Structure 1
Amino acid sequence: MPGPKLDPVESDAVLPKAVDVVIIGGGIAGTCAALELVDRGLKVAICEKGEIGAEQSSRNWGWVRLTHRDPREMPLMVEAVRMWEGLNERVEAETGYRQSGVTYTCASDDVLEEEKEWADLLQSYQIPARMITREEALAEYEGMDLPIKGALHNPKDGRAEPQKAAPAVARAVQARGGSVHQNTAVRMIDVKDGRVTGVITEHGRIACSQVLLAGGIWSRLMLDNMGIYLPQLRTKNTVLRTSPMEGGPEGTIKFREFAMRRRMDGGYTIASSANSRYEITPDSFRLFGAFLPALKNEWRGLRFGFGSAFVDGLKTKRKWSANDVTPFEETRIMDPQPETAFIDKVFAQVSARWPKMKGMKIEQRWAGIIDVLPDVIPVISGTEGVKNGVKGLFVSTGFSGHGFGLGPGAGRLVADLMTGHPPIVDPTPFRLHRFSDGSKIAPMSGITRR
């Protein structure tokens, strides 16, 4: 089944011979970084193996949330929200961003107490989140019957449209003089004397002094081919969208069984609140030790299974040269099969809880693959100093399901690092070195549980 329909981006016809920066990957992280860099006067080319935003950047829930963030991400997310607030005006296009608020319902006293801690944390950042009653939580959802004791409501949380955001930013990059090259896989990063000198794409070479790898689930393969270690795995999530509901509630709500948010087209994006499906791959065994701490907390309740992902992993090339067809060309767009029976059950649960949904149709189902790191926070970092690291090579990846909302902030942070500007937030938690410098690697526990 084809994935979500994206707003179009027209590729530039000519591959440049030389630029300042090549960005590998045209998702939200790559396009936002490109926007920051071109606005600082750099000549930038985005090379995307498929289409702009066609993988997880267009397949996520569309939430832009401050709530339930790892404390290490929180300062960056605060900055990201400030940037989202002005992004439509900046790119002169519609990203779908609306600060519509999110309500996190509490079905038990334990969850209620946990969310109260979250309210306190958010308020310490001057974010006006507060605990509300059951009646307040459901007031917008006429006829919805949830067995809850209250909720945490954050009016600063919002939503945007994943099928619009990355394309809108990419077109703004082009309007500022940058170039976008779709169906243009980067095969190799050209390195001389430990320094980036260019990239070799399937259509030719581009000289450059800096490269940003923002390749999502493909980042580990690219780095592994260079001998650089990135412990990255993948999980699958399935989502559906409904037909439009006239006059439906604008807010976003999360219950223990489901999560749903209003779309610009008047329908709703619905997903399960339960953890994603994890299909065992060869990397699951290679990286078992690195991910063991995460299994105890962040991955509890994950639905494990064997499937085609294991066979695909065995077949995937792990080493190649500039003259070889790479895995990036063999899979232009990762478009996994949605778990139809599973997501239809979620829709049935929503309909049972909210009779207004019973007249709605399921317009589309899709699945996306999420890139995950052991401590469930991203790498936004240079590679110089790690084993086989390269001067001028930077990485922005491993967002672990949090990347859509973080995108503008991550773009600014990595642009700061690449241009020598004072970083917008402390980049230390996001350094690639943390996986090799003896740091304790684990998700934060307690109220940081998503």
Structure 2
Amino acid sequence: MPGPFVTPVHGDLDLPQAVDVVVIGGGIIGVSTALELAERGVSVALCEKGGIAQEQSSRNWGWVRISRRDPREVPLMAESLRIWEDLDRRVGRPTGYTRAGIVFCCENDTDVQNYSNWTRHLEPWQIEARMLDSTEFAAMFPEAQLPVKGALYTPADGRAEPQLAAPAIAEAARDKGATILTECAVRGIETAGGRISGVVTERGRIACSSVVLAGGAWSNLFCGLYGLDLPQLTVLASVLRTKPLEGGPDQAIWAKDFACRKRRDGGYSIASGHENIVDIVPNSFRYARQFLPALLEEWNSLNFRLSWRFFDEARQPRTWALDEASPFEYCRVLDPEPSKRMTQKALTELSRAFPAFAKAEVAQHWGGRMDVTPDAIPVISAIDAIPGFHVATGFSGHGFGIGPGAGRLMADIVMDRTPVVDPHEFRFSRFTDGSKIRPMTGF
């Protein structure tokens, strides 16, 4: 598999007959939910069709940021920042977390004004974010040859290693009593008396009273089996990593043409600051109206293409019996080919801005499929139509950093406890209750 090497998590061999909660999906949202539940004494089994963090949870940039978040996500991300600070000690393993700050560069006066206006969303949380003028930016990065009007600098932001973090959290959940099942796809749920009674996996049945679907890009397909219409599409993001390099910035930096962050090994993860690929698939037409505001907002940064993925998804079954193999068994890992054009262009532009990168040696390219919702914020919600069923998905490329907080919120909802933050904005019913669904515009 050409994706990044992920710390392997060996799944448990024995399938439990019954648990309180089954978590479907072994990305950072699923493992964080499992850890939160297990620490509270809840019996939990996590089922992953492939390996822990083999999809987008290991393929993202590794940023842990509150800066430039949709204001609706800020309270939950503030909680996540608190969790990250103590996460290595809590899980007893390294996640690579470092609080090093993140800088977003401003090309023009409009950017400066928008970013400056955005900082007010952090005031209730006493998290520092400040604007740098061009002189202050030059003082922070004396080696930079990047003309900027200013920059948003958030010292509380940080970075972690996607190939380490979710595996570490999964192992910690197992330490607390959770069962971790890899190569174990959940084919579907079962109900009795109108509520969740169990799940059927490819290895057998597990009785339970609650299920959390943290299936990332697969969530729409799973929900559709039960008549639940979750508007979700995917975006292909491409990343490269370099070999260890001297002289690069310690802070993560975003500019229109590149984004980079230092890695634990001394290399850098690099991507375009704004370009991604959108494959046209059957669901593109099904959800065109709901995604139209987002498309208009991001039109200049999206590269639409018709590829074999259209036909792959068109052939994919939308229904299946629970006693036969499901689509999740025929495709264990989404491992798309990256756009080397985009990543090489990002490295070229980064080298112009920071000359040290002219000596960078590329170690690897990879692609990942980000699952997105029409308003670009997640669903973290109980599903009223199926009591005991919960969904935590649709993090729209922002899930890695917010993952530990999302897991805590999901555990609160499952256990019917006072939630750590108000989950109203993340409710599943917002897509059907007449709410105005649109992404954040400006700041």
Q: Structure 1-normalised TM-score?
A: 0.96
- Per the TM alignment, residue 114 of structure 1 is displaced from its structure 2 partner at its CA by 1.4
- Per the TM alignment, residue 429 of structure 1 is displaced from its structure 2 partner at its CA by 0.6
Aligned to 1:175: 175
Query: SS of the counterpart of 2:358?
Result: helix
1:288 aligns with 2:288: yes
Consecutive unaligned residues of structure 1, counting only runs of 5 or more, are: none
- Per the TM alignment, residue 345 of structure 1 is displaced from its structure 2 partner at its CA by 1.5
- Per the TM alignment, residue 299 of structure 1 is displaced from its structure 2 partner at its CA by 4.8
Task: Indicate if the aligned counterparts of 1:103 and 1:137 stay in contact, CA closer than 8 A.
Answer: no
Instruction: Map 1:237-316; keep pairs closer than 5 Å.
Output: 237-246=237-246, 248-316=248-316
- Per the TM alignment, residue 207 of structure 1 is displaced from its structure 2 partner at its CA by 0.7
Q: What amino acid is aligned across from residue 230 of structure 1 in structure 2? A: L
Question: 403, 421, 424: which is aligned to 1:425?
Answer: 421
- Per the TM alignment, residue 353 of structure 1 is displaced from its structure 2 partner at its CA by 2.3
With over 3 angstroms needed to count, the CA separation of the structure-2 counterparts of 1:246 and 1:434, relative to structure 1, is: same
Task: Indicate if the aligned counterparts of 1:298 and 1:443 stay in contact, CA closer than 8 A.
Answer: no
- Per the TM alignment, residue 442 of structure 1 is displaced from its structure 2 partner at its CA by 1.0
Aligned to 1:129: 129
1:110 aligns with 2:110: yes
Task: Indicate if the aligned counterparts of 2:271 and 2:342 stay in contact, CA closer than 8 A.
Answer: no
- Per the TM alignment, residue 414 of structure 1 is displaced from its structure 2 partner at its CA by 0.8
- Per the TM alignment, residue 160 of structure 1 is displaced from its structure 2 partner at its CA by 0.8
Aligned to 1:198: 198
Query: SS of the counterpart of 1:184?
Result: coil
- Per the TM alignment, residue 140 of structure 1 is displaced from its structure 2 partner at its CA by 4.8
Provide Cα deviations, 1:175-202, integer angstroms capped at 9, x if missing partner.
1111111110000111122111111101
- Per the TM alignment, residue 294 of structure 1 is displaced from its structure 2 partner at its CA by 1.9
Aligned to 2:184: 184
Query: SS of the counterpart of 2:5?
Result: coil
Paired with 1:243 and 1:139, the residues of 2 have a C-alpha distance of 27
Aligned to 1:58: 58
Paired with 1:364 and 1:134, the residues of 2 have a C-alpha distance of 33
Aligned to 1:69: 69
- Per the TM alignment, residue 246 of structure 1 is displaced from its structure 2 partner at its CA by 3.5
Instruction: Map 1:405-416; keep pairs closer than 5 Å.
Output: 405-416=401-412
- Per the TM alignment, residue 134 of structure 1 is displaced from its structure 2 partner at its CA by 2.4
Paired with 2:288 and 2:193, the residues of 1 have a C-alpha distance of 34
Aligned to 2:38: 38
1:216 aligns with 2:198: no
1:442 aligns with 2:435: no
Paired with 1:435 and 1:118, the residues of 2 have a C-alpha distance of 26
Q: What amino acid is aligned across from residue 419 of structure 2 in structure 1? A: P
Paired with 2:203 and 2:366, the residues of 1 have a C-alpha distance of 31
Q: Which stretch shows the higher mean deviation, 257-266 or 131-140? A: 131-140
Q: What amino acid is aligned across from residue 406 of structure 2 in structure 1? A: A
Paired with 2:408 and 2:299, the residues of 1 have a C-alpha distance of 29
Query: SS of the counterpart of 2:366?
Result: strand
Q: What amino acid is aligned across from residue 430 of structure 2 in structure 1? A: R
Q: Which stretch shows the higher mean deviation, 136-145 or 121-130? A: 136-145
Aligned to 1:9: 9
Paired with 1:219 and 1:52, the residues of 2 have a C-alpha distance of 16
Q: What amino acid is aligned across from residue 435 of structure 1 in structure 2? A: F
Paired with 1:15 and 1:139, the residues of 2 have a C-alpha distance of 57
Paired with 1:274 and 1:376, the residues of 2 have a C-alpha distance of 15
Query: SS of the counterpart of 1:269?
Result: strand
User: 4+ residue stretches of structure 1 with deviation over 6 A?
Assistant: none
Instruction: Map 1:379-394; keep pairs closer than 5 Å.
Output: 379-384=379-384, 389-394=385-390
RMSD: 1.3
Task: Indicate if the aligned counterparts of 1:248 and 1:266 stay in contact, CA closer than 8 A.
Answer: no
Task: Indicate if the aligned counterparts of 2:272 and 2:345 stay in contact, CA closer than 8 A.
Answer: no
Q: Which stretch shows the higher mean deviation, 406-415 or 140-149? A: 140-149
Paired with 2:334 and 2:168, the residues of 1 have a C-alpha distance of 21
Question: 387, 399, 403: which is aligned to 1:403?
Answer: 399
Task: Indicate if the aligned counterparts of 1:224 and 1:230 stay in contact, CA closer than 8 A.
Answer: yes
Aligned to 1:364: 364
Provide Cα deviations, 1:388-431, integer angstroms capped at 9, x if missing partner.
x2111000000011111110111011100111110011111111
Query: SS of the counterpart of 1:86?
Result: helix
Query: SS of the counterpart of 2:235?
Result: strand
- Per the TM alignment, residue 325 of structure 1 is displaced from its structure 2 partner at its CA by 1.4
Query: SS of the counterpart of 1:151?
Result: strand
Task: Indicate if the aligned counterparts of 1:258 and 1:271 stay in contact, CA closer than 8 A.
Answer: yes
Consecutive unaligned residues of structure 2, counting only runs of 5 or more, are: none
Paired with 1:108 and 1:62, the residues of 2 have a C-alpha distance of 27
Task: Count residues in correspondence.
Answer: 443
Query: SS of the counterpart of 1:323?
Result: coil
Aligned to 1:89: 89
Q: Which stretch shows the higher mean deviation, 342-351 or 229-238? A: 342-351
